[in-house]
Chain A
Amino acid sequence: MNALSTESIAARVREAVPEAEVELIPNKGPSGQDSLLIGAAKAVEIAAFLRDDPELRFDYASNVTGVDWPERVVKERVTATEEVDGETKEGKKVVETKIPGFLEAVYHLYSMERKHGPLVVRLRTGDRENNVTLPSLTPVYRGAEFQEREVYDLYGIRFDGHPDLRRLLMWENFADYPMRKDYTPPDDYEYEPTPHDAVLEKAKRHQADDGCGKGDPA
């Protein structure tokens, strides 16, 4: 990113959009692509600002995708002072922090006019079950239309304000969201004598149920 650091963009957004929640999320890896976590309430205004501001001009939403973060426990070793039998002891202790699960929509924005980017923008849902609505950025970036549909299809994030939110790749009556980490694939495979142990086991179990399986391959 030439001249514009992610931090300065965050400052500009805070200045321009009142009450905007913007948080910088640093990237620990060598790619150095930091991202901005923006609050859902003002997301559309922020996106419109990013698109129209003459200096930023992020006019092109390249990539829109979802990420599933199930509930997880992070263990961290911290030095803590502890009082044992009236004595103050300093020792290392493992602290477990529970991070509640959420779904994330990630947008990679570029500027075609000023030829810079990427700016990584993230939106997070409240949880993974009931509170999964995010504002759609399709009214700002038309190119996000099919990709938001895909995120809805595979992750189950409902985009509020999307003109035509339907499943994109799976069929309409499909119930689950296949890209979630806790998704269990179906076991109704057609019997194939492959050495896929797990697959074969599941297929056999399924076919034993309906009584039309080919039986044991051996």
Chain B
Amino acid sequence: MGITAKNFIASYTKPESLITEEYPEEKPKLPENNRNFPFLVFDDDPDAGLRCVSCKICERECPPQCIYIVQERDENGRPVKQPKVFDIDISVCMSCQICVEVCPFDAIKMDQEYELSSLDRFDPLIHDRQRLSKSNEYYHSIHPAEAAAVDAVLAEKAARKAGNKKAADNES
């Protein structure tokens, strides 16, 4: 009884005992590592700037097989390094982050959006390419440290590529 009374009074007087968050008026502050469902990162242009090259490694590695990719083809029927279809079924996705880990192009990252409920349990839960594409700035806003590290790695890769190209040009 004494302990109950102590906790009861503390819940009015001590700020650290007030642990209930008044959602939805008050949104919780998510830690940087928080993950929910994946999204695709693009630089600058949402269509051409998509980092995904449709290599399908994530589709293969996804444990519950919730990713579905069809590669884009140009008018001659040759494959283009772009996904034509990129669907993630978030009713199957279990937020394990393995797609993020295996992606060699840093194209797929974990989102923190959690208000995803819908009235239909079919179509709204399949996120297509358009819905999944989000800008690099958005990525910076949810995972600042991780995004900065990724940008540094990508910049280095680009520099090395440019350097190789220059060297090749000089040789020829």
Contact = CB atoms under 8 A, between A and B. Distances in A.
Contact of B123 (A193, A195, A196, A197): A193
B92 A194 contact: yes
Contacts of A193: 89, 122-123, 126
B65 interface: yes
Nearest to B69: A195
Nearest to A193: B122
Contacts of A194: 65-66, 89, 91-92
Q: Which label, helix, strand, loop or mixed, suits the secondary structure of the B interface?
A: mixed
A193 B68 CA distance: 11
A1 to B, nearest CB: 35
Nearest to B123: A193
A195 B68 contact: yes
A107 B126 CA distance: 45
Nearest to B89: A194
A140 B123 CA distance: 56
Interface in B55-111: 65-68, 87, 89, 91-92
Contact of A196 (B65, B122, B126): B65
Interface of B: 65-68, 87, 89, 91-92, 122-123, 126
19 contacts: A192-B91, A192-B122, A193-B89, A193-B122, A193-B123, A193-B126, A194-B66, A194-B89, A194-B91, A194-B92, A195-B65, A195-B66, A195-B67, A195-B68, A195-B87, A195-B126, A196-B65, A196-B92, A197-B68
